[in-house]
Amino acid sequence: MKSKLITKVALIGGGPACATAAIQLTRSGIDIILISKEIGGTIKNANLVENLIGYPNGVVGKDFAKSFQLQLTKAGVPIILEEVLTVEQTGNKYTTKTAETEIISEYLIIGTGSIPKKLDVEGEKEAFLNGKLFYEMYNVKQSTDKKDIGIIGSGDVAYDYALNLQNIANKIAIIRRTDKTSSLPILQKRVKNTENIVVLNNHVIKKVELKDDKIILELDEDGKPITMIKDLVLVAIGRKPNHDFLSEVIISEYNSPKSDSKLHFIGDVNKNNFRQVSIAMGDGMKVAMETVKRIIEKEGYHGASGQVW
């Protein structure tokens, strides 16, 4: 039997957006519950976050995730570490369900981030299930010592993954569909100056196969079929909002937001949002303060001023 909890505000997501909102709401005296399978979000993938004010030398993604996990604990944020399975709206309440818990809330803040896009080629699922193909850096890094790694992609994430692995892996190949990249010039320069990273242009993945503890990539190189053998492969071809678990009613509001809604989407789950940690944190703070203001105006709540430091 599921345990049932009732709260003023439920937050779904364990990344910087929901962490920021949860801390601000807690400081404002609002009754909340944060629900997430784990704390950290995709920032854990980052080799080095260099555009976050307050970290002049940059900060490793995993270290940054640990820091706000500690801050959530210090702030006394109630956290349920369970995977959210469904979210529904019934009347003016929201019901968030995990395998073990049902949370009823008046307000709902969703910051579930993004999920990686897949290659959609033959053999991809089998390679993933057998631990040879990965989509997230934090799931693969411990397995890459002295390995020959293929990274499929041409953007910041692919280049960042390569730099993240440069001191662990034996050889790394960034495999691009075309001869163009959307990666930042500074990342391109670092990759170019790293001896064990090569960039392969005009390579299109057609099939993936497992053989003798290796992953075999069948590709087209400028229209000519070739085979490439790797120990592990990372796929970094883009991401999409993570909202497949939401009901049709909530997805409808996601696509057509209402100005007076008690439902908010923050961070990378937002459509067309730039995937930057500072934007996610700003989203979280803005929605938290708007929610506090709305509760004050509606209920005569006096636990927080309009601006809390």
Residue 307 has pLDDT above 60, yes or no: no
Residue 303 has pLDDT above 70, yes or no: no
Q: Give residue 140's pLDDT.
A: 78
Residue 308 has pLDDT above 50, yes or no: no
What distance in Å separates the CA atoms of residue 218 and residue 145, rounded to the nearest whole number?
Answer: 24
**pLDDT range class, residue 270, cuts 50, 70, 90:** confident
Query: What's the mean per-residue pLDDT of the chain?
Result: 90
* Chain segment 21-33, per-residue pLDDT in tens: 999 999 999 999 9
Residue 309 has pLDDT above 70, yes or no: no
* Chain segment 47-92, per-residue pLDDT in tens: 888 888 889 999 988 898 899 999 999 999 999 999 999 999 988 9
φ/ψ region of 209 (left if φ > 0, alpha if ψ in -120 to 50, else beta) reads: beta
- Domain 3-115+239-299: CATH superfamily, name plus number: FAD/NAD(P)-binding domain (3.50.50.60)
Locus of tokens 């599921």: 2
Could you tell me the strand order of the sheet in which 224-230 lies? 203-211, 214-221, 224-230
What distance in Å separates the CA atoms of residue 34 and residue 8, rounded to the nearest whole number?
Answer: 11
69 neighbors 81 (Cβ within 8 angstroms): no
169 neighbors 198 (Cβ within 8 angstroms): no
How far separated are the first and last CA of the chain, in Å rounded? 41
DSSP character for 103? E
**pLDDT range class, residue 1, cuts 50, 70, 90:** low
- Token digits for 215? 């992953």
Give residue 159's identity as a one-letter amino acid code: Y
| β-strand pairing of 3-12 with 101-110 | parallel
What distance in Å separates the CA atoms of residue 89 and residue 185, rounded to the nearest whole number?
Answer: 45
104 neighbors 4 (Cβ within 8 angstroms): yes
Domain with CATH 3.50.50.60 in the chain: 3-115+239-299, 118-235
Q: Give residue 222's pLDDT.
A: 86
Q: Give residue 297's pLDDT.
A: 83
Q: Give residue 223's pLDDT.
A: 85
Q: What percent of the chain has pLDDT over 90?
A: 71
* Chain segment 140-197, per-residue pLDDT in tens: 766 667 899 999 999 999 999 999 899 889 999 999 999 999 899 999 999 999 999 9
Q: Which CATH number fits domain 118-235: 3.50.50.60, 3.40.1360.10, 3.40.50.10700, 3.30.450.20?
A: 3.50.50.60
DSSP character for 59? B
Helices and strands in the chain: count of H runs, count of E runs:
7, 17
Q: Give residue 302's pLDDT.
A: 56
Residue 241 has pLDDT above 50, yes or no: yes
pTM: 0.86
Q: Give residue 62's pLDDT.
A: 87
163 neighbors 194 (Cβ within 8 angstroms): yes
Q: Helix, strand, or coil here: 255?
A: helix
* Chain segment 93-139, per-residue pLDDT in tens: 999 999 999 999 999 999 999 999 999 999 999 999 999 999 988 77
